Amino acid sequence: MELIDLTLPIRPGMVVYPGDPEVHLERSSSIAAGDPANISRLDFGVHTGTHIDAPLHFIEGAAGAEAVPLEALVGPAVVVDATLLEGDIDEAALETLDLPDGAERLIFKTRNSELWTSDTFSHDFTRFVESGARRIVDMGVRLVGIDYLSIGDEQAHHVLLGADVVPVEGLDLREVTPGAYGLICMPIKIAGSDGAPARVVLTRE
């Protein structure tokens, strides 16, 4: 089985969404300083790099990251070729794409993939808006992924999270060919959190 890692490495200086905490990594104990083991301390936001959003992210009092069902995070997935889209992903834009019938997990490869070469945040990225998010919900999708740090605008988040669709953000799809795969998305089980960093892997026989 081939394993394709879609996860961005967590490191100081990496691009984060404006206003989110920066990444800080330091050794709290060091063999070089005479300690018996190396122990590191990591400080960063839960929406850093490759991560999921929990309903709590935009809906006060909703479920946190620990309640996201594993059944939505593991199973067949389709990587959709959306690289020719220039604007936001609305319902009309989705009609131009080759979307499979009955897929529960869709990952959109867009022109965003080119943005990972820079550690400076770009506001010019492809994202979902409300009508596109509603179309995703109507299709019965349980998980939707994208190759930058936000799945969409505020309205798109409300639509997806309100329907218990799991957004997976910050995917590195630069080396991924569109098509059918297996998906394994394992977020950290953080109780009461609005999001969680995740290791995300595609599988293919």
Of 47, 57, 157, 158, the active-site residue reads 57
pLDDT of 115: 98
pLDDT tens digits, one per residue of 162-196: 999 999 999 999 999 999 999 999 999 999 999 99
The CA distance from 141 to 69, in Å, is 14
pLDDT of 14: 98
| Residue 57 annotated among the catalytic residues of the structure | yes
Burial class (CB in 10 A: 0-12, 13-18, 19+), 6: buried
Angle between helix axes 154-162 and 130-138 (nearest 10 degrees) is: 20
pLDDT tens digits, one per residue of 142-164: 999 999 999 999 999 999 999 99
All domains in the chain, ordered by first residue? 2-8+45-204 (3.50.30.50)
Burial class (CB in 10 A: 0-12, 13-18, 19+), 51: buried
pLDDT of 165: 98
The pLDDT confidence band at residue 95, using thresholds 50, 70 and 90, is very high
Mean pLDDT of the chain: 98
